[in-house]
Chain A
Amino acid sequence: MDIGQILVNGLVLGALYACLAVGFSLVWGVLNVINMLHGSFIVLGGYLTFFAWHSFGIHPLVSLPFVALLLFGIGYLVQYLFVNKVVTAPVLTTLTLTFGLDMILYNIMTVFFSATPRRVTLDLGTLSFFGITMPVDRLFGMALALALTGLLYYVMRKSRIGRAIVAVRMDRAAATLMGIRVNHIYAITFGVGALMAGAAGAIFAMVFPITTNLTGMYIGKAFVVCVIGGLGSVPGALVGGLALGLIESISGHFFGPQHSLTVGFLVMLFILLVKPTGLVGKRGYE
């Protein structure tokens, strides 16, 4: 396999990872909560997209906005009803709580959807350029992932809600004094995190088979992306995602694909120790 193919594979994968992790990163950065539900949110988004397509023939592009909105609602409620009550507690409490909630959601999904791998097959063929081949559905997924991540960046910078989220992240107390309803903003942030997870799941369902057994792997990828890129920012997730995509693609080529995950985790541990703010991370900046 030549170097061009490896790099393109890495970038395509990286764009998907960025979209997968950006919501997780936002929640961690703003709420200081490690959301263990994130992996299940992704799988839920993927399953809903699959069943809309499989049972009702709805094209993923059509169902994606609805799936994402539904997950926003679920995320908002989870934060509003549960996580908000312990949001200032130590990490052990919040992490354990979201893990407990994840066990419930995971169980519901395995009962209703079973663990069979599901995939939306769009059959778009493959594309060749400069000797590099790439399935079109993957390119399509990458474009969609980048577009959504870009949209989130735009919304965070330009909308009132986006500015409010950034304000809460920088200084919770000051934001309260400015008349921002912090609990509401927290719930919205968590909702946006779930929304992005749902959208990422919808995209994933078009590219890879989705199954409940993958929730742990998705969470793992989200950890790695966040730590490599830097927490709580869209550019951080993008850089981290692309970096992880390239790391996996390159190390997969040299050491075999079964080791690419290990290398990703090792890079993450290394970055944690030498530069815990991540490659582009800066505290208090979106």
Chain B
Amino acid sequence: MSEEILRLESLSKSFGGIRAVNDVSLSLKKGEIVGLIGPNGAGKTTLVNVITGVHPADAGTVHFMGENVTRQRPYQAARRGLCRTFQIVQPFPENSVLDNVAAGAVFGGAVPSLKQARERAMDLLEFVGLQDVASQPASALTLPNRKRLELAKSLAMKPKVLMLDEVNAGLSSGEIDGALDLIRRIAEQGVTILIIEHLMKVVLGVSERIVVLDRGAVIAEGPPMEVVKDERVIEAYLGSKYAQRLKEKTHG
């Protein structure tokens, strides 16, 4: 298919003896939507943190567009177009919604002037449907709107790869459909998307490929429908006993 944009090789990160990310290798192709799932504590957010340089990797490499970026700092990742949203949203609470997005544009997106950044920010707010609250302080937003703001902010950085860390957590099913629709529209613009979720069903519909993480390691990878049938995946999510029972039921 098309060219590779992000490649992780044997990436590892430990915290005080616990291997939060354990020998993870992964490759993303330009323009695809990949789901990264795994139970709570599987190391999904840590993996994103290692990729973007929040935590330095203990071992392994990250290549972005052919360049070794393993040692980058978070702001460098953002400027390169390797962007992410936060599971726990991180707005600038006193800034207006517009200025939150403008910050992404002017620093991450290399827009030369603040004025242009605000214009671009306004377009993006329209894209995510926040144009009516543009002048409100970010701290006044509701949770679904904060998630959208987070999305608009990352888009302002002109991402090439966008890692969405649980953008759907805490949303109702109707709101999730809206968010997924938005994600598809972003992907249509040629942005590679890694969608990180704790709930499997959210990503199944939208992802072309799914990677399953458990206890820091990749335990399965492939098309959505194959992955959900994988025994190890069921075991990781439901526990070995339940997996055993399920197996007996379906086969016996």
Direct A/B contact, Cβ within 8 angstroms: no
Instruction: Give B residues with C-beta under 8 Å from A.
Output: none
Instruction: Give A residues with C-beta under 8 Å from B.
Output: none
